[in-house]
Amino acid sequence: MSYTGPGFEPPQPRRPRRGPLTVALAALVPGALLGWAVYASVGGPGDDKGAAGSASTPASTSPSASASVSATSRAPSSAGASPTAGPDGGKPGASPTATSPSASAPAASGPLKGKVVVIDPGHNPGNFQHTTEINRQVDIGTNRKECDTTGTSTNDGYAEAKFTLDVAHRMRTLLQEQGATVRLTQDADRPFGPCVDERARIGNKAGADAVVSIHADGSGTGNRGFHVILPGAVRAGAADTRPIVEPSRALGERIAGNFVRVTGSAPSNYVGGGTGLVTRKDLGGLNLSTVPKVFIECGNMRDSKDAALLTSGAWRQKAAQGISDGIVSFLRG
């Protein structure tokens, strides 16, 4: 994928926020930086499949707000990127045979009782069989864009769509254990899609307290690390993200900090300027959302070292834990 194009913005300096949250975050940053120093001293995430992110599983759900962790947005394909991986890659593509999101089992009692989380696994595994349908244009507020894409894959053929569903299932279990009501935008339970606009509507209709779209990137070899994509301020057509910009940034920061802590993975070395956070204005899944929402690119499937992590079940469990811990931290304030 390319990381330039309409609406792409480099991470902007954060304006200081006031109040208890600022104090809490300031207290946590030294810990996050210490963790990062340990990470750097041992040479980053493990190079062996399944050994990555040797950091211990999260001991708590408190925020690890690392403002230095940035996330790149799903941007148009860059050199070396998979031609099938597009900016909104594999998002909301409406299928006529499925009219409601995959429902979760009844939530258990826990700290998130009464909270609704929508998980958006990027790219339906069946999209490649429905190229005509997913190539149709849909309105994303600022312009029109493809309904969905097929997503990318590792060089050995492990599909992004398979990765995103696996992580989504693991997250659902973890969040339900915390008492949340969890819904998926798709669970390979429809022929294709949903389209990016429908994916946004699913979260909106559910009145979600948080929505996270799961992805893996398809950039060039040597490009490594994760990134979180935040919505920019958009007011055009059906899109008005202004009310969700700040809460979405808070959600993204909590996820990024916890992702580093749990997986040991580094922020992207090719977008976001090492911050792990990138703002985008050209993604329908974000533009049309009326509830706090972010994307996370968990790594680069086209880099052999990142691919070794993404194809490891043990590492995917850590990824799910890190993202879930970030959501829990955000929802508990």
Alpha-carbon distance values, 131 to 27, 98, 125, 159 (Å):
49, 18, 12, 16
Q: Is the pLDDT of residue 170 over 80?
A: yes
Predicted local distance difference test score (pLDDT) of residue 109: 86
Predicted local distance difference test score (pLDDT) of residue 182: 98
Q: Is the pLDDT of residue 285 over 80?
A: yes
N- to C-terminal Cα distance for the chain? 34
Place of tokens 């340990």: 38
Whether residue 291 contacts residue 207, with contact meaning beta carbons closer than 8 Å, is answered with yes
Q: Would you list the domain boundaries of the chain?
A: 59-93+104-332
Q: Of residues 133, 198, 253, 297, which has the active-site annotation?
A: 297
- Render pLDDT for 133-142 as a digit per residue (tens, 0 to 9): 999 999 999 9
Q: Is the pLDDT of residue 14 over 60?
A: no
Model confidence band, residue 163 (pLDDT cutoffs 50, 70, 90):
very high
Whether residue 219 contacts residue 297, with contact meaning beta carbons closer than 8 Å, is answered with no
Greatest Cα pair distance, the chain, in angstroms, is 52
- Render pLDDT for 187-217 as a digit per residue (tens, 0 to 9): 999 999 999 999 999 999 999 999 999 999 9
Predicted local distance difference test score (pLDDT) of residue 105: 56
SS (HEC) of 140-202: CCCCEEECCCCCCECCCCCEHHHHHHHHHHHHHHHHHHCCCEEEECCCCCCCCCCEHHHHHHH
Predicted local distance difference test score (pLDDT) of residue 145: 97
Q: Distance between CA atoms of 314 and 310, rounded to whole angstroms?
A: 9
- Render pLDDT for 61-119 as a digit per residue (tens, 0 to 9): 333 333 333 333 343 333 333 333 333 433 333 333 333 466 555 567 899 999 999 99
Question: Active site includes 297?
Answer: yes
Average pLDDT over every residue of 164-189: 98
Predicted local distance difference test score (pLDDT) of residue 242: 98
- Apex CA 229: angle with CA 224 and CA 232, to 5°? 145
Q: Distance between CA atoms of 46 and 306, rounded to whole angstroms?
A: 9
Note the Cα 310 to chain centre separation in Å.
Answer: 14
Cis peptide before 194 (omega within 30 of 0): yes
Strand ranges for the chain from DSSP E:
8-9, 116-121, 137-139, 144-146, 181-184, 210-217, 227-231, 235-236, 239-240, 277-280, 293-300
Note the Cα 52 to chain centre separation in Å.
Answer: 19
Model confidence band, residue 236 (pLDDT cutoffs 50, 70, 90):
very high
Predicted local distance difference test score (pLDDT) of residue 110: 93
Please report, as a single letter, which amino acid is at residue 2: S
Please report, as a single letter, which amino acid is at residue 293: K
Q: Distance between CA atoms of 185 and 13, rounded to whole angstroms?
A: 32
Average pLDDT over every residue of 172-200: 98
Token duo for residue 123? 């790219």
Query: Which fold, 59-93+104-332?
Result: Aminopeptidase (3.40.630)
